[in-house]
Structure 1
Amino acid sequence: MNLTATAVRPARAALLAILLSGTATAALASEGALEGAAAEAADASDGASVSELTVTARRREETVQDVPLAVSVIAGARIDSVGAFNVGRLQQLAPTLQFYTSNPRNSSVNIRGLGSPFGLTSDGFEQGVGVYVDDVYSARVASATFDFLDVARIEVLRGPQGTLYGKNTTAGAISITTNQPTFDFEGKAELTAGTLDFRQAKAAISGPLSETLAARLAVSYTTRRGTIYNVTSRRWINAQDNLGLRAQLLFRPSDDLAVTFSGDFNRQNPKCCAQIYVRTGATQRALPRQYAALAAAQGYTVVSTNPFDRLTDVDSNLNAGNRIGGASARVKWDVGPGTLTSVTAWRFWDWKPENDRDFLGLSIVARSQNPSQHDQYSQELRYNYATDRIDAVVGAFAFHQRIDTQGTEQHGPASSRWNLTGALAANPAVLDGLVARNTQYLKNTSLALFGQASWKVTDAFTIQPGVRLNYDKKVGFYERKVFDGQGNPVLFGQTDPVKVAQRGVFAPQVSEPRFSDWNFSYDLTLSYALRRDVLAYATYARSFKTGGINQNGLPTDAAGNPILAAGSIRPESVDHFEAGLKSRFWEGRAILNLAAFRTDIGDYQATVTNGQLGVLRGYLANAGKVRSQGVEADFQVRPSERLSAYVNGAYADAKYLRFVDAPCPPELSGGTTATAGQTPSAPGTPGGISPANCDISGQRLPGVSKWSFSYGIEANLPGVLLGREGQAYAGFDGSYRSGFSSNPSPSAYTNVKGYALSNFRVGFRADDGIEVFGWVRNAFDVDYFEQLALGPSNTGLIVGQPGDPRTWGVTLKSAF
């Protein structure tokens, strides 16, 4: 890893852009403005300071520097200026945030490498990173794939957040606060056009309806051509097509009472999402049953072996139809010495996908779709109380969720050759039309009491304990019925070799997993003001992530019976240690925050994969123990009103401390399973002997870069454009992450190389609210992968998702 060279190139480019912006500004500015610019710049440092953002991380308003907690705060204006319009792009600004998605349903958000198992999403477990919008918890990470809509700020809280937030989260929380209705009339609009037919429109309007009623309406629409061309359908795929609407009504009959009603609807309907051919790697399957031999036997050649040609030939329909929305009522009532807050919410999610699960132009898997419908209801009550020495919050939370899924998996005429041996492999009719129809549901109930107090022992020293009592219950049902190409059922007990072969691909199954348990967690934070602008703190948290159930089917024994003991997984137990320092210096012009952390998790909930196509693509199991530890630094500086810069960095060492029975990587899979006394073959030995499982203790957790950085700079000069006074500016934002593993069990075939991305913008910001700027993202057209994955059946096929190429465009904004 050549970190120095990687980071220096964007920095040099940023300085060049700033110098060029001065030339552009001179062209825009009037003669009089230029004459006064030098004198104004000389005085610009007077009163310049880094803005102290207000946060509600501890359920009360305070500046971010006063919070003894590792939290990144990103203002809505900055989100708009850098084009971070969803969580996928937000991770370029928050180094310890990781977001992975192969489609909206199979999305995961991690902080410091923890939160969700890497791989296919299961409904039966909890996410370790909570996503909240205006205090409303969303049980589906799919909600994070939508565009941010009229956002005021986003707080990324790192570490366990169970004693202050409604839903227990062990790795952190993303709290999104939208702009609220106002009793002063205001509005804003934004239009963007760019390459790849990128079009984006945003608008919001707010104002009074009466002396006690105010309303706000916001809308966002984004569309973009796909980044990958499908030569089979002759269409661009992996596109964007997002629509978002939000309406809010504020009723304020008195200064003591405010009631906000909110409703939102979000829709996605792109041709998406395909993972494409990246490479092949040798497995331990017999050589005639590895990718090259199988493709040759069927006369198949992939359209391109270079993934950055951005070509594919997948032959199944693709769709990522996604609907998410809901309604909420939030009441804030000043009662006695404190404030009572009630948040009542209903959310829905409707998922209508179509996928190509063989990733090729061969009809191996002809259909793969698992539409789901999700409803959730939540109620949170909190009471905040504050005196000169004590701040406290106590709360109760109730949550119920139901998900129904109807799945269809069907094989095509190329499947027999790909998955069978001998004479059966030469007969396409054996698996052509074989279909599995899955029906499943999940009922999930969670109840909690929580509280946290902050006792100011002296003016400098504060003790902050917190507790949480939680009850969780999950009830699931899964049924798979299998039919051959003629519509006849495939059942256990049938001895016909064709039926036995079909059952080896799709086996009928019924399971009814359940889980319920109580948990008690707590934390303690000590903070000390070393001086006026320097705060030191230390935290210990004993937390948990509740147990779960395997909702997508269970692994089976040699007779094909589901292993019922695998129906539920134990809760994770979390021991979290953190120490930090928050400082503000140079008369408020600079901020430096440091944090060191270590999180140990016992009974870690890990994804276990099964390489046999159609049997069971993944399920959850408890690993022994994992640890994530590291350091983080956030630095901001504003030496004058004309210049500001930031550098955020993190080092994370996240690894399995103990996982002795993990699934093996592809280079050790696909051969004859070793029995007692047999020695497994070397990795990648065709026809070799594969271990039944692998010990990956000491190896890295998937998806986590050891080093990650975000950095940026903006410079401005006063000027005049088309008669409007304002500022001409140039900005640069960059990010870097080192390489990471993209498979639950580290594999040489799925390591993603590190990369740096650079974004530039140049524009004019008028004093009357008009702004126009041009931007370029991934300016140096870096080729990189968002993630890599394994193709089915241990053939050695590796597929992936190339990141976005260089794009550029123009944005026009107006605020009034």
Structure 2
Amino acid sequence: MLPTCHLAAAESGSDTATTLQAVTVEARRRSEDAQQVPTAMSVLSGQTLEAQRLYRLQDLQQAMPSLNVAFMNPRQASLSIRGLGNNPASDGLEGSAGIYLDNVYLGRPGMAVFDLLSVQQMELLRGPQGTLFGKNTTAGVLNISTRQPSFTPQGSVVSSLGEHGYVQSQASFSGPLNDSLAGRIDLYRSHENGYVTNQYNGNTLGGGMRQGVRGQLLFKPDEDFSLRWIGDYNEEDSSAGTRSLFSTGPLINGVNRYQQRAAAVGATLVDGRRVNLDADQSIKVYQGGTSLEANWRLPSDFQLTSISAWRWWDFTPRNDDELNVDVMHNVGQSARDQQFSQELRLASPLGEHFDYVLGAYYFRQLMDNKVFTYYGPLADTWNGTAQGALNDVTSIGNGSVDTDSFATFAQGTWHLTPQLDFSLGVRGTYERKQSTVTRNAPAGGAPVSAAAAAARLARAGAYDSGDLSQYSFSPSLLASLSWHISEQVLGYASLAHGEKSGGVNLGVASAPVAGADSLLIGSERANDAELGIKTTLLDQRLLIDANLFWTQVYGYQANAYDAASQASYLTNAGTVRSRGLELDSSWRPVRGLTLNANGSWNDVRYLSYDSAPCPAEVALQAGAPASCDLSGHAVVGASKWIFNSNASYQWNLANGLQPYLNGSYAWRSHAVGTLDDSRYAQLPGYALVNLSTGLRGDLGQGQWDVSLWLKNAFDKTYYTTLWNSPNGAYTGVLGTPRTLGMTARYDF
């Protein structure tokens, strides 16, 4: 196992090393030693990911501080950093935390929800990163780099088996095609049965199949030019996102509405790792893309980089109504996304007095979604509407957003003295968004009374927003001062401003009453201050990095839930403050042993949010207010305390065999489960322990490796995210239970 911080331990087979090796990162769009970059970051090597079996986006929060991944399914997934960015299911809005794959910005977090295999390195950059990265990001960036083609023949074959029907196979092959051209291909297929039992028919849900292929070519005729082409395709057919009942909500005048209406429709409620669903629960995801990155070394050591990319993403769900009776046959939102991006960068040679990076960026995205609800014969009883209003009615809506984003950027560093550097960055982004939101007239249903007809139109009536437009200019700024106190110690301070454009609600929500402009939300603006130190001590055997931060966000973009229409909607949630302390450390005390620990204390809450949705215990009361004041409340999904640690010990036997032991511990404290901060939707804190042991040795021209692993060793029951449900209930997605498995691999 390799460290989760900025220095990597020796590669497999070199356990005799007693020092940590430097890690190179691209945080400032040029290759640099991570310990010399004045930015708060954490780095995971590909070897660390493999050793800890962190192969999904939602696993990363077990290894990185200040990180939360709210995951229900690939569409309803979000990445938040320092408590900022919890916006699942927001088709009409980019995330506050950006995800980049091989220097390509991913317009949807779901584009990264596939098995993350053959990864070279992951960098988590915390705080606004808009001056150098393609899209403005107010919370931070997850930068993923995959392994490149090699001019030396190499490959690997890996097979894993585990409980709950878990089977994962992967293979990688790379080598030269001629003196100047190398290729690489990576393939994988994963399957698991799931771990939630459907009491209705005995099936197991929460699992399914994922598979994909990734091909690359690297053309390198000389040391001054390289051209890298990447093409990939991934698909998923699963029941991911199956929600279990977390809480039935409050008692109002001695009555629990959720239980009362469940009894009225004849539903039987279950909780824990059980559901009771009479309809299908499934998702299908198809996605892929291609990119072309060219790097030229120009005269005087200038570096010119061009990155062209196109990606597509197709998500189709089939969701039950969470009951074992026919309230709804199917409900959900499908999404179709295409994006194209082009980036040009020029990096100056590293100089004695001044060096810089400047460039231009273009991003185009076409997003379409379909909102559908197929009501059953019990819909009115469940929803409390006039009989006949919704029974057997079909409601279908469509939304689209066409985005064009243009940006220019520059960042330079003045070397004021041999010990003191000053960096200044600026970016200007202009964006145009054009959108439409429509809903068809309700279909089906029986002729009804005037009251029921009015209720039908209110919930599912025809609507057309017409053409909606948004135009915005978003500046980003960075000023950073770094002091090389010694060769082993770097101190830094920075001020940053980041902005991201507004978004569009692609569901009708309250637009028929409030008007089409209510579908639009405004920009999000963040000001950030950082103070940090990076140290490499004990002859490069100990690394300790720490930083303080204070971020204030205006017009914070959030995803809320309207109890009346039972729909999620985007909104500007006022002003948010995030402040805290982060720590990263790695220690190699003796030969073969590496210890890592990281953690964060993060206090993130609304300074002002006086038009928030009310929690169920308020919203279900007679005469309940239209909104509540959440000023002073904690932001959804943000644990105040996070601590992660891992240890790896490997040694050599006389016959050339190499045994090893790995262990990790990840703990996070309580978090608010839903935006309304209901006391019935509070995520308890939890701790996870993962263990593994293995043996490797040489065989022919390669190395074999067999390991036994145990994830969630103490079988902790925990929820990764919570969700509002009708009639005051709250549901959630359960984390993976204890899973025992083994992996065999051969690298050559």
TM-score range relative to shorter protein: over 0.9
Q: Quote the Cα distance in structure 1 between the aligned partners of 2:266 and 2:152.
A: 69
**Corresponding residue of 1:798:** 730
Q: CA deviation at 1:486?
A: 4.5
1:290 pairs, out of 249, 257, 274, with 257
Counterpart in the other structure of 2:4: none
The farther-off stretch of 645-654 and 546-555 is: 546-555
Deviation sequence 1:539-587 (CA, Å, 0-9, x none)? 100111212222222424xxx5342331322211211000110001011
Task: Report the counterpart of residue 676 of structure 1 in structure 2.
Answer: none
Q: Which residue does 1:267 correspond to in 2?
A: 235
Task: Judge conservation of contact 2:86–2:636 (CA < 8 Å) in 1.
Answer: no
Superposed, 1:234-253 pairs within 5 Å as: 234-253=202-221
Q: Which amino acid aligns with 2:612?
A: A
Q: Which residue of structure 2 lines up, in the alignment, with residue 699 of structure 1?
A: 633
**How far is the alpha carbon of 1:621 from its aligned partner?**
1.8
Aligned counterpart for 1:483 among listed residues 442, 453, 472: 442
8 Å CA contact 2:264, 2:382 repeated in 1 = no
Partner of 1:604: 556
Pick the aligned partner of 2:339 from 376, 380, 383: 376
Letter in 1 for 2:355: D
Judge which range, 599-608 or 105-114, deviates more.
Answer: 599-608
- The TM-score, its normalising length taken from structure 1, stands at 0.87
- AA matched with 1:737: R
| Seq. identity, % | 33
For residues 623-644 of structure 1, give each alpha carbon's deviation from its aligned partner in whole angstroms, at most 9, with x where no partner exists: 2210000000111100122211
* 1:579 aligns to 2:531 (yes or no): yes
Partner Cα distance (1:233, 1:57) in 2: 50
Rounded to whole Å, the distance in 2 between the matches of 1:764 and 1:803 is 29
Distance 2:397 2:510 in 1: 15
**2-structure distance, mates of 1:197, 1:573:** 46
How far is 1:175 from its partner? 0.7
CA distance in 2, matches of 1:348, 1:384: 30
Deviation at 1:406, TM superposition (A): 2.8
Q: Specify the alignment match of 2:718 in structure 1.
A: 784
Q: CA deviation at 1:112?
A: 0.5
The alignment partner of 1:482 has SS state of coil
Q: Do the aligned residues in 2 keep the contact of 1:450 with 1:467 (CA within 8 Å)?
A: yes
Number of the residue aligned with 2:432: 473
Q: Does 1:524 align with 2:479?
A: yes
Contact 2:247 2:681 in 1 (8 A): no
Q: Which has the larger radius of gyration?
A: 1
The one of 148, 153, 172 aligned to 2:116: 148
Corresponding residue number in structure 2 for 1:105? 75
Give the aligned residue type for 2:590: S
Match of 2:183 in 1: 215
Q: Aligned partners of 2:117, 2:419: CA distance in 1, in Å?
A: 39
Q: Structure 1: which 5+ residue stretches go unaligned?
A: 1-39, 489-493, 672-687
Is the 1:629–1:654 contact (alpha carbons within 8 Å) kept by the matching residues of 2? yes
Return the letter of the residue paired with 1:766. Answer: G
Contact 1:200 1:222 in 2 (8 A): yes
Q: Residue 679 of structure 1 aligns with which residue?
A: none
Please, which of 290, 294, 305 is the counterpart of residue 341 of structure 1? 305
Distance change in 2, residues 1:48/1:353 (3 Å) = same
Matches within 5 A, 1:137-176: 137-176=105-144
Cα distance in structure 1, aligned partners of 2:389 and 2:101: 50
CA contact (8 A) 1:128 1:545 kept: yes
Alignment equivalent of 1:48, drawn from 15, 18, 26: 18
> What is the deviation of 1:649?
0.7
Q: 1:279 Cα deviation (Å)?
A: 2.5
For residues 158 and 534 of structure 1, the distance between their equivalents in structure 2, rounded to whole angstroms, comes to 20
2:84 is matched with: 114
1:126 corresponds, among 94, 115, 127, to 94
Q: What is the correspondence of 1:281-360 to structure 2 with a 5 Å cutoff?
A: 281-282=249-250, 284=252, 290-302=257-269, 304-305=270-271, 307=272, 310-337=273-300, 338-356=302-320, 358-360=321-323
**Matches of 2:443 and 2:477 in 1, distance apart?**
54
In structure 2, the partner of 1:640 is: 590
Corresponding position: 1:715 with 2:649: yes
Work out which of the residue numbers 497, 503, 512 in structure 2 matches 1:548.
503
- Pairwise CA RMSD of aligned residues? 1.9
Aligned to 2:167: 199
Q: TM-score with structure 2 length normalisation? A: 0.94
Tell me the amino acid that sits aligned with residue 182 of structure 1. S
Q: 1:620 aligns with which of 567, 570, 578?
A: 570
2:260 aligned counterpart, secondary structure: helix
What is the number of equivalent residue pairs in this alignment? 729
Distance 1:743 1:369, change over 3 A: closer
Contact 1:554/1:566 (8 A) holds in 2: no
Alignment of 1:809 with 2:731, yes or no, is: no
- Structure 2 CA distance for aligned equivalents of residues 571 and 299 of structure 1: 46
Q: Aligned equivalents of 2:391 and 2:177: distance in 1?
A: 63
1:538 aligns with 2:493: yes
Q: Report which of the two has the higher share of helix.
A: 1
Query: Are 1:758 and 2:728 counterparts?
Result: no
| Distance (Å, rounded) in 2 between the aligned partners of 1:78 and 1:581 | 24
Query: How much has 1:183 moved relative to structure 2?
Result: 1.1
Distance 1:500 1:385 in 2: 66
Take 2:257 and 2:720, find their aligned partners in 1: how far apart are those partners? 26
SS at match of 1:769: strand
1:91, distance to aligned residue in structure 2 (A)? 1.1
Q: Distance in 2 between matches of 1:554 and 1:171?
A: 28
CA positional deviation for 1:281: 2.1
5+ residue gaps, structure 2: 1-13
2:11 corresponding residue in structure 1: none
| 3-state SS of 1:799 partner | strand
| Structure 1 residue 159, shift from structure 2 partner | 0.8
| 2: CA distance, partners of 1:752 / 1:655 | 16
**Amino acid in structure 2 at the alignment position of 1:432:** N
Cα distance in 1, alignment partners of residues 738 and 355 from structure 2:
49
Q: Deviations over 1:63-87 (max 9, x none)?
A: 2111111111100011001000011
